[in-house]
Structure 1
Amino acid sequence: MLKVKKLLLLLFAVPLLLLVACNNEDETSAPEMDKEAMENFNETGYPIVDEPITINFMTRKPPTTADDYNDVLVWKTYEEKTNIKIDWGLVPSEGFEEKSNLSLAGGDYPEAFYTAKFSDVDIMKYGEQGVFLELNELIDKYMPNVKQLFSEHPEIKKALTNADGKIYSLPTVYSPDFTSMTSNIKPWIRQDWLDQLNMEMPQTTEEFYQYLKAVKETDLNGNGKADEIPYGNNSVAGLIGWLKGAYGIGNKGRKQGFVDLDPKTNKLRFYWTTDRWKEMLEYINKLYSEGLINKTIFTMETNEYHETGSQGLYGSTVTTSPETRFGRDEYVGMPQLEGPHGDKDWVYVTAPVVHKAAFVITDKNKNPAATARWIDYFYGDEGAKLFFMGVEGETYEETDNGELEYVDMLTDNPDGLTFEQALRPYITWLGGGYPALVQSDYFKGAENSPASIEATKKIEPDIIEETWPSFPFTVEENQRLAALKADIEKYVIEMQDKFIAGEEPFSEWDKYVETVEKMGLEEYMEIQQAGYERFKES
C-alpha cells in the first residue's frame, strides 16, 4: 500500500515523470522500477529473475488452444528458463473485448494483456492516461530483439509509434522477407481444368473471365451435372483484394482499406468513390450476374465453403491454401491479373505489423523490466523457434540440411488427431494474434507449404514497393474518425455488395457518391490527411 501511495504522490507532483515523454523528442521516461524487484532482476542471461515471480495477464484464448496454458509444453519450458510464472487469465476470444473493456473502465485490470489486439483508439486513450506503459525506454534498455528489429526494419518502429511519439504496445510481426505470409491470401486455379480446356494461365481480367465462362459451360468433372463453380468463396473480400491491383486502386496494401495515393495527383484519396472502383465493381457484377461466382458468396458459412471446396467444385478461389482448406492438390497459384488500363500491381499485401497491440504492459505491473525481457524473447530467433516449433526431440527434429520439421506424432498422429488437435498440448500459436515475430524458418503453417511458396513466386514480380500501416491519430482524431467510419465505411461496404449482386443499379452511382460526401467525407479525409502527414514525418 505504501508503494502505491508513493506512486500516486509522484504522479500528482510530477505528472510528466512517469510514462510520458520529455519535451525533448529524443528523450523518454521509463516507469519507476521497484528497488526490490530490480535487485531480483537480471538484465542479461537466464533466469530473468533469481527468485520466482508471478505476473498476471489477461489473455485472449482462441478455441484452438489448450484450456490451461500452464500445462502447455512451450510455457512450462519457458517458465523453467526464466523463473517467471504467468497467471494467464484466459478469456475466450468472443468475450475478450467486453471483459477487457470492463476491466479497464473499472480499474481492475491485470499487469499485462496478451494476444489483446486492442484498437488504435484504445492504445492512444489508455496510453495517454498512463494505464498502458510507454515502452520506448524499456525497449532501449531491456529488449534487444525488438531493438534490433527496429534497426533492421525502421518501418516496424514507425508503425508502432503513436501520434505522441510513444510506443505503448508490441505487435504480431510478419517478417518483411516472409512474402508468402505478408501475401498469405492468394488466388488459385485448377491446373487440370485449364489443361482440359486447352487454355493458358489467365494473365488479364478478360482472360480470367473467359476461363470462368468455359468452366461454367463444360462438364469438367464428367459427372453429367452442371455443378462446377467457376469462382467460389464465402466472401467477396479476397476477390476484391486481388482485383484492386488490376484497376489501379488500393495501392498501399491491406492495412489501408479505404484510402490510398492517387497516382495522378500524388494525393491521398478515398478510392471507394472513384471511377476505377466503379469499373471494378461492374466487372465483378458481370461475373456474378452470369453465374460465374457462387450466388451464396454473401451468405455462405466458412464450413460450407470448405466442404464444397473439398468436393473439387471450384474452378478458382482466393484463400490461404486449397491444400489445407479443402484437401485438394489440383490447384496452383495465379499471377496478378492485368486490368483494362494496363494496371498490374499485387496490392493484397499487408504491412509487417499485423496486430499493433498484441501485448501491452499496464501501470499495475510490479516487474516491468522483467516483463519486457520476458516478451522480448519471442521477437528473436531462439524465442520464435520455441514458440512456433516447441522443444527439439519432443515436437520437432532438425533435418540433415538444417530444416526444422514437426515430429510424425504431430503430422501423422497415431490416434487420428488432426494436426491442430495434436499440437494443442504443446503450443498456443494456433488462432493468431500473438506477440511474436513470424519467420519462415520457424513458422510451418499453410503459408509455408511448397504450394504456397510456389504461388507466391507468381505474384512476387508485381508486389507493390510500399505498404502503409494504419496512420497515427490523436485521441480526439480517433474519436471523431470512429464516428465517421461507423457511417461512411459501413455504408460503402453495404453498397459494394448491392452493386455486385445487382440489387443497386450502376445508374445510381452518382447518387451513391453524393450520399457518401454528405456523410462527412470531407472531414473524414481531413483527419486521414493529418494522420498521413504524421506518418510521413515520423
Structure 2
Amino acid sequence: MKRRYFSSVAATLLLTAGILGACSSEEGTTEKSANADKVNATGMPIVDEKIQVDGFAAKFFASQDWNKLMLWEEYEKISNIEVNWNTVQTEGLVEKRNLMLASGDYPEFFFASAVPKTDLIKYGEQGVFLPLNDYIDKYAPNFKKILEEYPSVKQGVTMADGHIYGFPAIYDPEYDVLRGDTPWIRKDWLNKLNLKEPETLDELYKVLKAFKEQDPNGNGKADELGWGTGWGINTMIGYLRGTYGLNKQGNMNINLDFKEGTEEFRFIPTTDEYKELITFLHKLYKEGLINKDVFSTEPHVFAAEESKGNFGMLSAVNPLETQKLKGYIGVPVLEGPTGERVINDMSNGLGNLGMFVLTDKAKNPEAMVRWMDHFYGDEGSKMFFMGFEGVTYEEDAEGNLKYLPEIINNQKGLNQDQAISQYLTWPGGYYPGIVKEKYFPVIESTFENSAKAKPYFMKDEDIIPGLNYTLDENDKVSAIMTDVQTYVDEMTAAFITGKQDFGKWEDYKKTLDKMGLQSYLETAQGAYDRMQKQK
C-alpha cells in the first residue's frame, strides 16, 4: 500500500519510561483549560453543550467542502463539537501552513497538515504548539494504549525535550499489506509476449523494453509505456533500495544506514550502491522506459494517464482498486548485483508525526484531544475509513466490512477514491489515526501482492526509529539538510535524466562535504548514540 508515501512515500520515528508525564509548566503538569470541567471523561458526546472550533486541513480533492461533508457532519452529531474548516489542496499545503505560522494567523488546530518534525520541535518550544503528554494521559485512552503496546512508536512521537506535540498517522505494525509491497505489472502482457515475471534487474529491463516495443496490447500502435508513477522518482528508488543493499536499518531515516559491520552512519546518496541504483534508472529513463514527467507530475494528474491502461508497470495503489484496470499483479522482489533480495523501504508503522497539532489558540484542548483520540479506536477508525453502514459500506454475517457497489463500481464513472471522497477524507494519504486491516478497504489482489513480498521483508528488529534532536541540534541539522537535500534531489534528477554526467560523481560528493555533510553525520550519530543509552 503506497500511502506510506504517503509518498511512499512517508515516515519518521525517544525517551525512557514516563514520557506521558512530561509537560509544559514549571510545576510539571499541563494546566487545565477554562473549559476542562465541561468535557466528559468517557463516552459520547464529548461535551454536553455544543462547542465550535476552528481547524485547518489539507484535502486531496478540490471539490470537497469539509463543512458539508458527511464524515464531519455525523461526527459533530456524535461529539457535539462543530469544526469550522478552512482547507487547502495538498499541493498548496506547505506554503499555506508556513504562511499561517509565520504570520501568527493560525487556527486552534491543524489536521491532516503533515507538520514536519522540524516544525514540531520549533513551534513546540516556542509555545505555539501545545505539549500533549498530560492530555494524552488523561483524555486519549486509545492512543495511550498504542504507545504502551508499541514502544518504538512511543519513542518516535516524543521529541528530544520529552514532549509529544502531534498525533501521527500509524499503520498497524501487524498489518503486512501496509508495510511492504511492490509495483504492479501487467500479467496479461507478460503472457502475450511469452515472458516470465522479472526477478533480476536485467530481466526487468528486458521486460520493460519488450512492453514498449512489441505491441503487447495488440492494437498495432506504439502506445505502450514501461514503468510509470505519479508519486515521484523516490517511489521507484524506494522499490530498488533493498535490491542494491541500501537502507538496511529501514526508511525511518531515509538517507542513513550503517557502514557494514558497524553502528556508524553513512550517507546513502553518496554511496557506490546509490550511484549504481540511479545509473540503472538513468538507463531506463534514457530509453523511454520511465514516464518522462516522473519528476514533475502529481498523483491526481498522472491518474488520467494511468487510467488508459498503457503502462506495463506501475508504482501506485492497486490499479484494480483505483482505476478498475485488470491484469496487474505484484512484481517480484528483485535480486541485485551482489545477490541482495530484500525490501528495506520499510518502517515500524509510524507515519508523519504532525497530522494533528493543537495550537496555543485552542480554547478546548481537552475536548479536542478526546475528539482526535476517537480515530485511534475501533469505532472511529471504522467511521473514518469505511464511512457509514448502508451508505458507503455493508457488513456480512461474519462481521466483514466492504464498500457498497456505489463506491467500488460507481455508475457515474468515478474511481473508488473519487466515489468515497463524496463522504470521507482519507484518499490522498493525509490523515491522523490508525489504519487497521479490518477497517481499511484493500482488495484481495493487494493482499496477494503483500504476501508475495513478505518473505523478503527486512527484520523488524533491524528497523531503527527516526532520530529525535534537541532544538539546537535540530536547527543545525535543518540548516545543513535543507540545502543538502535540495542538492541531492536536484543531482539525482540530473543524473537520471542525463543532464549531468556520472563523471561528475566525485564533484557531487565534494560539494556535499562543503555543504556540511560531515557535521550532519556527526550530529545524527550523536542522536543515535543518545537514543541507545536511553533505551
TM-score (norm 2): 0.87
Q: Residue 117 of structure 1: CA displacement?
A: 1.5
> How far apart are residue 74 of structure 1 and its match?
2.4
237-246 or 211-220: bigger deviation: 211-220
In the other structure, the counterpart of 2:319 is 322
After TM superposition, list the pairs within 5 Å mapping 1:269-308 onto structure 2: 269-299=266-296, 302=299, 305-308=302-305
Structure 2 gaps, min length 5: 1-20
Select 1:152's aligned residue among 149, 152, 169. 149
Instruction: Measure the CA separation in 2 of the matches of 1:278 and 1:366.
Output: 52
Over 3 Å counting, the alpha-carbon distance change for 1:102 and 1:273 in structure 2 is closer
The whole-number CA distance in structure 2 between the counterparts of 1:513 and 1:451 is 42
Spell out the pairing of 1:165-204 with structure 2 (5 A cutoff).
165-183=162-180, 186-204=182-200
Name the amino acid aligned to 2:237: I
**Map of 2:29 onto structure 1:** 29
How far apart in 1 are the matches of 2:88 and 2:289? 42
* 2:265 counterpart letter in structure 1: L
After superposition, where does 1:75-474 map in structure 2 within 5 Å?
Answer: 75-183=72-180, 186-233=182-229, 235-299=232-296, 302=299, 305-413=302-410, 417-444=414-441, 448-465=442-459, 466-474=462-470
Secondary structure of the corresponding residue to residue 225 of structure 2? coil
Selected match of 1:39 from 8, 21, 37: 37
Distance 2:206 2:86 in 1: 54
Q: Which moved more, 1:277-286 or 1:331-340?
A: 277-286
Paired with 1:300 and 1:30, the residues of 2 have a C-alpha distance of 45
Give the whole-Å Cα distance in 2 for the aligned partners of 1:418 and 1:226. Answer: 27
Q: Residues 367-406 of structure 1, C-alpha deviation per residue, up to 9 Å, x if partnerless?
A: 2222211111110101111112222233322112321122
> C-alpha separation between the residues in 1 aligned to 2:413 and 2:193?
39
Structure 1 residues 66 and 317 mapped into 2: Cα distance closer, same or farther (>3 Å)? Answer: closer
Given that residues 23 and 163 in structure 2 are in contact (C-alpha distance below 8 angstroms), is that contact kept between their aligned partners in structure 1?
no
Q: Count the aligned residue pairs.
A: 511
Question: Which residue pairs with 2:4 in the alignment?
Answer: none
Q: For 1:302 and 1:377, how far apart are their aligned partners in 2? A: 30
- In structure 1, give the amino acid aligned to 2:64: A
- Could you report, residue by residue, the CA deviation over 1:57-88 in whole angstroms, capped at 9, with x for unpaired residues? 2333433563143x322223222222222223
User: What is the rounded CA distance, in whole Å, between the counterparts of 1:222 and 1:80 in structure 2?
Assistant: 55
CA contact (8 A) 2:23 2:134 kept: no
8 Å CA contact 1:254, 1:351 repeated in 2: no
Give the AA of the match of 2:316.
T
2:529 corresponds to 1:525:
no
Helix, strand or coil at the partner of 2:353: strand
User: Please, which moves more after superposition, 258-267 or 281-290?
Assistant: 281-290
1:490 is the counterpart of 2:494:
no
Task: State how far apart, in whole Å, the 2-side matches of 1:290 and 1:420 are.
Answer: 33
What is the root-mean-square deviation of aligned Cα atoms in Å?
2.7
State the 1:261 CA deviation.
2.0
1:441 partner SS: helix
Q: Which residue of 1 aligns with 2:6?
A: none
- In the TM superposition, what is the alpha-carbon distance from 1:414 to its structure 2 partner? 5.0
C-alpha distance in 2 between matches for 1:171 and 1:83: 24
- Quote the offset at 1:337 in angstroms: 0.7
Q: How many angstroms apart in 1 are the aligned matches of 2:332 and 2:319?
A: 16
For the pair shown, the structure with the greater C-alpha radius of gyration is 1
Q: CA deviation at 1:221?
A: 2.6
SS in 2 for 1:277: helix
Q: What letter is aligned with 1:47?
A: P
Cα distance in structure 1, aligned partners of 2:119 and 2:69 = 30
1:474-523 per-residue CA deviation (whole Å, 9 max, x = no partner) reads 22222222221232222222222222233333232222222221221111
Change over 3 Å in CA distance of 1:61–1:31 after alignment to 2: farther
- The structure-2 alpha-carbon separation of the partners of 1:377 and 1:263, relative to structure 1 and needing over 3 Å to count, comes to same
More deviation in 393-402 or 334-343? Answer: 393-402
User: Alignment partner of 1:90: what SS?
Assistant: strand
| Offset, 1:143 | 0.8
Identity of aligned residues (%): 40
CA distance in 2, matches of 1:150, 1:393: 34
Distance of 2:102 and 2:229 partners within structure 1: 40
Q: Which 10-residue stretch deviates more, 164-173 or 98-107?
A: 98-107
**Would you say the 8 A contact 1:21–1:166 is kept in 2?**
no
Q: Distance in 2 between matches of 1:244 and 1:146?
A: 32
Matches within 5 A, 1:63-82: 63-64=61-62, 66-69=64-67, 71-82=68-79
Q: 1:289–1:75: structure 2 CA closer, same or farther, 3 Å change rule?
A: closer
* Compared CA separation, residues 527 and 39, structure 1 to 2 (3 A): same
Structure 1 gap segments, 5+ residues each: 1-16
Contact 2:59 2:430 in 1 (8 A): no
For 1:98-138, what per-residue CA distance to the aligned partner results, in whole angstroms no more than 9, with x for missing partners?
44444434444332222221121211112112221111111
Cross-structure match for 1:479: 475
For residues 303 and 42 of structure 1, what CA distance do their matches in structure 2 show? 41
Find the counterpart in structure 2 of residue 10 from structure 1.
none
Normalising by structure 1, report the TM-score: 0.87
Tell me: CA distance 1:467–1:408, structure 2 relative to 1, closer, same or farther (3 Å): same
Partner of 1:54: 52
Question: Structure 2 residue aligned with 1:20, among 6, 20, 24?
Answer: 24
Equivalent pair of 1:412/1:419 in contact (CA under 8 Å): yes
Deviation at 1:164, TM superposition (A): 0.6
Inter-partner Cα distance in structure 2 for 1:103 and 1:303: 26
